[in-house]
Structure 1
């Protein structure tokens, strides 16, 4: 990247060309896969706006995914991908569904994908995109056959790791050149995209910024919660006892979060009194949030549902079209790049 900037004027098109070529898009902006939100309407809108929409398969059955893919294809002729959870019991069938529908990119999340899964996708003619939370795993995934990587920091919404986006970018980007790398987590403006492109990224992934798009089917109350929220309101779930591990999830602080802490204490008390064995107690805690995201996104229960949001939620100020969101990001990125180029030429 530095060499390219020294050899001539830098443009946003040059900066993310590798990412655009890989995705087959006008802009190297991926939509984060958000359960219940990243369905056909928003996914198609992101792709039609020049970005790369990604269906969140989540717990869908192969039949449900097939319908969702076909529904998306009816709304856009542009490229889009599908995010599959590696722990899904029907992962192989879901991969088959993607390949049967000519999906060009499959994003594997929620765990380290097996070499067999990656090979199956590649042999079927699609590209694989994998999440890499540390440098060692990034290198391993490339050796296993991953065609691109996403590095996502703890500022993101939903299930998160322990390291910030800026630190991950510094740890990983200078050392990974074999495949395109997309940066995610807490990105809400084009200037941030530009900074990561300068560091060696091929593009960025954003989720929270698209929740309040007109095309998003999220409940009006869910969108209002986003628009009213500040960055500090997007907090991680609290683990009361290490014996009862809780996978960290970032969501807006609400009564549901408080109830979850109370539930953990109550369940742990049952375990200590002998009323529940360890496994039953752990399952009861795990199941607390079952259906909570759907209740928030679809039903609008933003008090007791799970309002998953990244810390960039503080930059979501209004409901607007997906095209407007994308074009604003691109304009900001372009201006930041142009301003830096002028400064270099005059210094």
Structure 2
């Protein structure tokens, strides 16, 4: 048994996989092709339901099951108005794991997932929420740091890991946010994590349906290019989202300033001003991912984007991560293992 087999045994047993590497749920990206590729390569793919209707999710799960016989999960947003129906779709398809994200799920949602035979994974951006999720029935947790792409919390994974991993032992804990190399996975496993979740590395994978311009934007970018959305005025909150700085992010600042001016001039009431700000990015993620508009669209990416240097098949990415982790452990113990390049070849 290799050191990785030992360190992530709990995570692999929970997911039913050969490796405890989860794919992050990325809207428009984490669909049947990428999800099945991750699962077929020994990882754990996760469908991003996002704003899908029950009918669309039903079709997506069926299409994914046609491409893989390996376990995969479905990520549902707790605020979705049809959450109960979406859970029902997952249960009908016998999806093995359901991720409830975007807030603390209700008792009825937890009961529906677990009574339906699925394992429940929750997101814990703080220790107090981790403990609460375990109390209400979460079977595993993902702790995601602010280094991640997309919607983010305020605390880095480095801090969350120190707060949560030594304390939470009741359920497997998977780390996420800014992870791009196997050495980091190894370090978090040694701290007590059961596995890791990656999004940004997989978004630019060969099997990802993201537009070629979207993937090339990742290859060109550095870590410092992945920045959180800026809130101009405390009166009008902006949900923090990390993505690549572009013309769209600069226009968003100008839009906030103009909206604030119109509010102060009495042209907008507070509600209309807030809606104007919130609606600025409507459809922007799809424009970037599907249409390839990487200047005006929302190019969500984590700070690990600087480690995306090529478009690679999912299996190569996972092999590379494993080889890097094993090489790092071998370097400490004086052993000799193949390097990442030869292992991925």
TM-score, normalized by length of structure 1?
A: 0.95
C-alpha distance in 2 between matches for 1:114 and 1:335: 43
Indicate conservation of the 8 Å contact 1:36/1:56, yes or no.
yes
Aligned residue for 1:319, secondary structure, equals coil
Cα-to-partner distance string for 1:45-75 (whole Å, 9 max, x where unaligned): 0000000000000000000000000010010
Indicate conservation of the 8 Å contact 1:237/1:249, yes or no.
yes
Indicate conservation of the 8 Å contact 1:169/1:196, yes or no.
yes
1:298 Cα deviation from its structure 2 partner: 0.2
Report the equivalent of 1:107. 99
Cα-to-partner distance string for 1:168-202 (whole Å, 9 max, x where unaligned): 00000000000000000000000000000000000
C-alpha distance in 1 between matches for 2:230 and 2:183: 32
Further displaced range: 328-337 or 92-101: 328-337
Report the equivalent of 2:22. 30
* 2:170 is the alignment partner of 1:178: yes
Q: Which of 109, 115, 128 is equivalent to 1:123?
A: 115
Distance 1:10 1:215, change over 3 A: closer
Report the equivalent of 2:149. 157
Structure 1 runs (4+) greater than 2 angstroms displaced: 337-343
Aligned residue for 1:74, secondary structure, equals helix
C-alpha distance in 2 between matches for 1:10 and 1:327: 14
Report the equivalent of 1:340. 332
Indicate conservation of the 8 Å contact 1:12/1:337, yes or no.
no
1:336 Cα deviation from its structure 2 partner: 1.8
Further displaced range: 328-337 or 278-287: 328-337
Report the equivalent of 2:339. none
Aligned residue for 1:111, secondary structure, equals coil
1:268 Cα deviation from its structure 2 partner: 1.0
C-alpha distance in 1 between matches for 2:107 and 2:127: 18
* 2:44 is the alignment partner of 1:52: yes
* 2:254 is the alignment partner of 1:262: yes
Report the equivalent of 2:188. 196
* 2:225 is the alignment partner of 1:233: yes
Report the equivalent of 1:142. 134
Aligned residue for 2:166, secondary structure, equals helix
Equivalenced residue count is 335
Cα-to-partner distance string for 1:195-241 (whole Å, 9 max, x where unaligned): 00000000000000001111000000000100000000000111000
1:114 Cα deviation from its structure 2 partner: 1.2
Cα-to-partner distance string for 1:59-95 (whole Å, 9 max, x where unaligned): 0000000000001001000000000000000000000
Report the equivalent of 2:288. 296
1:10 Cα deviation from its structure 2 partner: 6.3
Indicate conservation of the 8 Å contact 1:56/1:82, yes or no.
yes
1:335 Cα deviation from its structure 2 partner: 1.8
C-alpha distance in 2 between matches for 1:337 and 1:128: 32
Report the equivalent of 1:249. 241
Q: Note the aligned Cα RMSD (angstroms).
A: 1.0
Report the equivalent of 1:3. none
